[in-house]
C-alpha cells in the first residue's frame, strides 16, 4: 500500500503492516484507527488508538473487542519477531490529528503542527485550526492575529490538539450525548 495513504497514522513500515491488519478489523467493529505505533523498550509495545465512527468516542468494551480480534489476527500473521504487548486505547482529548478530515472536524480548536521541513525559519506551528483547502491545512498562528499559515498536508509530520477549556467542554458534551443515545436504545429494547 502507498505510504502516504496512511497519512499520519503510522511512522514505520512495521506500523504500516500492523495498520493493514488492524484496519479491516476496526472497520468491521464500526471503529476507525487513529494511529499505530510500535514502541521499543524492555518489551515492545504495539499501541493502537481508535475511535467509534459514529461519535468519535471509544469505550472500554470497544477497546476490548478490537484488542481481542486483533490479537487473534496478529497471532496468525506474526508481524513482529519479538514478544510485544498490545495496547488499544482511545486517542484521548489531546488527540493526534492523523487524517486530513481531522483538520476539518476540529476546526476552531487549538493545535500544534510539526512539519517535516523548515518553513519561514521554523518547523513548529501552534494556533487555532482555521480550515482546509486544496490539500492545505490553515492555522491562525498564536500571538499573530493577522496571519494564517496555510501548510500543505503532506508536509505535516505530526499534529495534535492541545487541551483547552473549550475542548474539554466539547468532549464532555460528546460523552453525554453518547450516554443519552445508549440509554434511549436500552429503553427501546
Average pLDDT per 10 consecutive residues for the chain, totaling 189 residues:
64 93 97 95 92 92 96 91 92 93 94 93 94 93 84 94 92 84 74
The confidence score (pLDDT) of residue 2 equals 44
pTM for this entry: 0.86
Residues in Cβ contact with 124 at an 8 Å cutoff, skipping those fewer than 6 apart: 112, 113, 114, 115
* CA dist., res. 119 & res. 60, Å (int): 41
The confidence score (pLDDT) of residue 5 equals 53
The confidence score (pLDDT) of residue 3 equals 43
DSSP-assigned beta bridge partners for residue 171: none
Axis-axis angle for helices 13-28, 60-77 (nearest 10):
120
> Does the CA dihedral 57-61-67-68 come out positive or negative?
negative
- Tell which phi-psi region holds residue 7, choosing left (phi > 0), alpha (psi between -120 and 50) or beta: left
CA 7 to chain centre: 10
- Residue 4 is classified by DSSP as G
The confidence score (pLDDT) of residue 6 equals 65
The confidence score (pLDDT) of residue 1 equals 40
For 31, 85, 120, 133, 173, the CA distances from 62, given in Å and listed in that order, are 8, 18, 43, 33, 20
The confidence score (pLDDT) of residue 176 equals 87
* CA dist., res. 172 & res. 114, Å (int): 28
* CA dist., res. 64 & res. 13, Å (int): 25
Residues in Cβ contact with 182 at an 8 Å cutoff, skipping those fewer than 6 apart: none
Instruction: Give start and end residues of each alpha helix (H) in 29-164.
Output: 60-77, 100-105
Q: Which phi and psi angles does 2 have, rounded to 5°?
A: -60, 130
157 and 114 Cβ atoms separated by less than 8 Å: yes
Amino acid at each position: 500500500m502507498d505510504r502516504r495513504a496512511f497519512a499520519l497514522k503510522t511512522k514505520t513500515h512495521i506500523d504500516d503492516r500492523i495498520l493493514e491488519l488492524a484496519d479491516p478489523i476496526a472497520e468491521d467493529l464500526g471503529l476507525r484507527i487513529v494511529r499505530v505505533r510500535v514502541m521499543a523498550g524492555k518489551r515492545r509495545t504495539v499501541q493502537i488508538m481508535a475511535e467509534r465512527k459514529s461519535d468519535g468516542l471509544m469505550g472500554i468494551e470497544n477497546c476490548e473487542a478490537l484488542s481481542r480480534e486483533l490479537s487473534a489476527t496478529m497471532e496468525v500473521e506474526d508481524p513482529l519477531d519479538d514478544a510485544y504487548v498490545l495496547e488499544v486505547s482511545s486517542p484521548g482529548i489531546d488527540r493526534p490529528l492523523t487524517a486530513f478530515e481531522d483538520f476539518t472536524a476540529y476546526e476552531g480548536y487549538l493545535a500544534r503542527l510539526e512539519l517535516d521541513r523548515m518553513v519561514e525559519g521554523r518547523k513548529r506551528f501552534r494556533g487555532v485550526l482555521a480550515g482546509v483547502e486544496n490539500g492545505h491545512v490553515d492555522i491562525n498562528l498564536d500571538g499573530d492575529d493577522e496571519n494564517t499559515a496555510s501548510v500543505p498536508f503532506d508536509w505535516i509530520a505530526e499534529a495534535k490538539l492541545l487541551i483547552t477549556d473549550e475542548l474539554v467542554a466539547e468532549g464532555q458534551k460528546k460523552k453525554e450525548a453518547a450516554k443519552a443515545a445508549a440509554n434511549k436504545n436500552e429503553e427501546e429494547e
